């Protein structure tokens, strides 16, 4: 999909068989370097996000179940979110 700032983002999301884990593959190819890139991870039942990783590295959970992605104009990320 196109972005408001130019470039493209490709997302693929699936729920793991345990129903508590969301796995997202994100490919970014942005036209400009953003000040920050955040992603909101949500469960279908409204459960809280209690843990997340980006490319195997623990990510801090920010307000409203969001995480911060690295500040790059291009990149591919495997994001894992865990809900309670």
pTM of the model: 0.90
Beta bridge partners of 12: 25
3-45 pLDDT, tens per residue? 887 899 999 999 999 999 999 999 999 998 888 889 999 998 8
Minimal CA–CA distance to 43: which of 15, 80, 24, 77?
Answer: 15
> How far is residue 75's CA from residue 30's CA, in Å, rounded to a whole number?
9
CATH number at residue 15: 2.60.40
CB proximity list for 1: less than 8 A, separation 6 or greater: 8, 9, 10, 11
**Which pLDDT does position 22 carry in this prediction?**
97
- 32, part of any domain: yes
| Total number of domains in the chain | 1
Region 58-82: mean pLDDT is 95
- 31, part of any domain: yes
Q: What is the phi/psi pair of residue 31, to 5°? A: -80, -30
Region 58-79: mean pLDDT is 95
> How far is residue 51's CA from residue 65's CA, in Å, rounded to a whole number?
10
- 12, part of any domain: yes
- 1, part of any domain: no
**Which pLDDT does position 71 carry in this prediction?**
83
Per the structure, the complete domain to which residue 58 belongs is given by: 7-83
**Which pLDDT does position 8 carry in this prediction?**
94
């Amino acid at each position: 999909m196109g972005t408001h700032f130019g470039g493209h983002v490709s997302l693929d999301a699936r729920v793991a068989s345990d129903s508590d884990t969301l796995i997202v593959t994100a490919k970014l190819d942005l036209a400009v370097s953003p000040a920050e890139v955040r992603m909101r991870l949500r469960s279908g039942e409204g459960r809280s996000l209690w843990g997340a990783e980006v490319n195997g590295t623990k990510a801090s959970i920010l307000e409203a179940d969001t995480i911060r992605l690295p500040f790059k104009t291009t990149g591919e990320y495997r994001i894992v979110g865990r809900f309670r």
